Amino acid sequence: MLPATARLPQLKKLIAQRSYFVIHAPRQTGKTTAMLALAKELTASGQYASVLVSVESGVPLGNDISAIERAVLQAWREDAEDQLPEELLPPSWPAAEPSQALRSALRAWAKVCPRPLALFIDEVDALQDQPLMSLLRQLRSGYAARPRAFPHTVALIGLRDVRDYKLASGGSDRLQTASPFNIKVESLTLRNFTQLEIATLYDQHIVATGQMFAPEVMDQVYMLTQGQPWLVNALARQLVEVIAPETATMITPELVNQAKERLIQRRDTHIDSLAKRLQEPRVKAILEPMLAGLPLGDVPPDDIDFVLDLGLCRLDAANSLVIANPIYREVMPRMLAFSTSVSLNYIQPTWLTDDGHLDTDKLLTAFLDFWRQHGQPLLQNVSYHEIAPHIVMMAFLHRVVNGGGTLEREYAIGSDRMDLCLRYQDIVLGIELKVWRQGRSDPLVVGLEQLDGYLSGLEQAAGWLVIFDQREGQPPIAQRVSSEQVDSPSGRRITVIRG
C-alpha cells in the first residue's frame, strides 16, 4: 500500500479551505481505495466526520428521481454506519419533495454533526440526465450554508470531469459545461504511480516474502505500464501468484514478459472495458488515425481531453499524443483484430518445419495465398477503415504466433506506418506496413528508409515491407498480390509485398 494522499497531495489543503472539487481518473486507478483511506484518516484525526458514499445504487432506477434519492440515502446511511463512530452518524432523514431529499438530508446531518462533514461521493457520473442534474443542483443550492448547515467539503469522484457527464437532453450527449456544479474549485486527476512508487510497492513484497526481483524488473514494469495502477498490480499478481508462486524463484524480465502476455490474453474486465471504448465515435476519431500513422486532423480539444481522462492516451515529453502505455498499445490493435481473427477458418501451419521451427519463406507463401483468397471479403467487415488491411494481416499473424511466439506493434501520429515485430523461438521478423493512398506517390522509397531504421533497432539484416494499395480503380486483390526482393538503402535484404 501507498499513503492515501501520495498521488493527490493537495487534497488536505482543499479540504481545510472548505472546497468542493472533482476527482476523475480511469477505472481501476485506485480512486475508491485512496478516498476511502483518506476518509478514515480524516475521521481518525478528530477534525472531521468523513465518509465515502456512492450513488451507484440509484443507477438501475432510470429517471425516477424520488426512487433514486431513497435508494441513495439508504446506501449513504449504511456507508456511514460502516465507516463512522455512532456519535457522527446522520439523524433520521427528513421528509422532502423529490429533487430536494439529498439537500435536506445533508443539511440535517451537517446541523447535528459535532464535526465538519467531509463527504466523498463516488461513481457520481454513473448517474445520467435529470437525476444527475438534480444531484448537482442540490449540492450547489446548499453550498452557501456550509459548514454549519451543509457539508464542509464535497468531492465528486468518477471517470470524467463535470463537463463530460452524460446528459441526453439539450441535443448533446454531454453536459459540456461545469455550470450545474460551478462551485467546484478544482478538477483533479489521480495520477499514475511513479517508478519510485512501483519500487516501493514491490519492495514491500520482497520484505514480506523474501522473493527477490532482478534489478531490471522495476524499470521494465514501469516501461510497460507507465505506472497505470491496475496494470502494475495485475502484473505483480501474475508474477508472484501464477507464474512464480514459489518465493525462492527470482522474478526476471523474461517472467515479466510472460505476465504481460497473460494479461492481454486473459481479457480481464479492465482490458475488456478498454476494448469496448474503441468503438465509441469520439475515441475512434482519435485512435484510427493514430493507428494508421496519420495526422489527427480537426479533432475537437474536448475529444482529446476525453481520451486523456479515460487513460487511453497521454501526452509525452514533446507534448505529442501517444497511447498511454505499451500494454495498451498492444491491446488496442489486437482487440480490433480479434473478431477478424476468430472468423477465420482453420489455417494449416505450412510455415512450420517438421521440427516446429518457423520458416519465413514458407510464411511468405502462406500469407500471399491467404491474402489472395481472404483479403477482399475480410477488408469489408473492419470498422476501422483506415487500418483495415493492417487488422486483417494482424489477424493472420495472430494465428502464426498463437502458442509459440509474440507480435509486437509500434505506431505513432504522423508516421504514416505501422511496424510489427514477429518473434517465434529464435526468429525475429521485422515488418513495416504502408498504405498507398489516393493521390499519393508509391510509398516504396520512404518505406524502405523507414524499415531500415526499424530493422536497425531490432538488429536484423532482413525484413518485410508490405504496401497495401487503397487507390481507386485497382484490380481485385487476388490479381495484384505480388512480392519481390530488393535491397534497402543500407543494404538490408527486404521482401516487398504488394497487396
Can you list the alpha helix ranges (DSSP code H) found in 324-459? 326-336, 338-343, 360-379, 388-401, 444-458
* Averaged pLDDT, groups of 10, the chain, 499 residues long: 82 94 85 92 97 95 95 97 98 96 98 98 90 93 95 92 59 51 82 93 94 94 95 94 96 94 81 82 91 86 86 90 92 84 84 93 95 85 86 91 84 84 94 92 95 95 95 88 95 95
State residue 190's pLDDT score.
84
Nearest to 275, CA basis, from 33, 29, 27: 27
- Specify the DSSP class assigned to residue 136: H
Whole-angstrom Cα distance, residue 48 to residue 11?
A: 14
Could you give the CA distance from residue 34 to residue 240 in angstroms, rounded to a whole number? 24
For residue 67, the model assigns a pLDDT of 97
Give the pLDDT of residue 168: 41
How far apart CA 321 and CA 313 sit, in angstroms, is: 7
What ranges in 238-383 are assigned the alpha helix state H? 253-266, 269-277, 281-292, 301-309, 326-336, 338-343, 360-379
Q: Which of 298, 386, 377, 299 is nearest to 340 (CA)?
A: 377
pLDDT value of residue 169: 35
Instruction: Tell me what pLDDT residue 85 has.
Output: 97
- C-alpha 114/C-alpha 118 separation (Å) is 12
DSSP E strand boundaries for 169-224: 184-189
Q: Cell numbers 475537437 correspond to what residue?
A: 300
Residue 347 to residue 340: CA distance in whole angstroms: 13
pLDDT at 403: 63
The three-state secondary structure class of 123 is coil
Burial category of 452 from C-beta neighbours within 10 Å (exposed 0-12, middle 13-18, buried 19 and up):
middle
Q: Which domains, ranges and CATH numbers included, belong to the chain?
A: 11-189 (3.40.50.300), 195-266 (1.10.8), 291-498 (no CATH)
- Which is nearest to 384 in space by CA: 350, 418, 346? 418
On whether the pTM is more than 0.75, the answer is: yes
Write down the pLDDT at residue 92. 97
pLDDT of 226 reads 96
User: Which residue from 54, 44, 53 is spatially nearest to 4, judged by alpha carbons?
Assistant: 44
How much is the pLDDT for 488?
A: 96
Surface-to-core class of residue 438, CB atoms within 10 Å of its CB (0-12 exposed, 13-18 middle, 19+ buried): exposed
**3 state DSSP class of 155:** strand
* Closest alpha carbon to 53 in 78, 18, 33: 78
Candidates 65, 187, 75, 58; CA nearest to 138 is 65
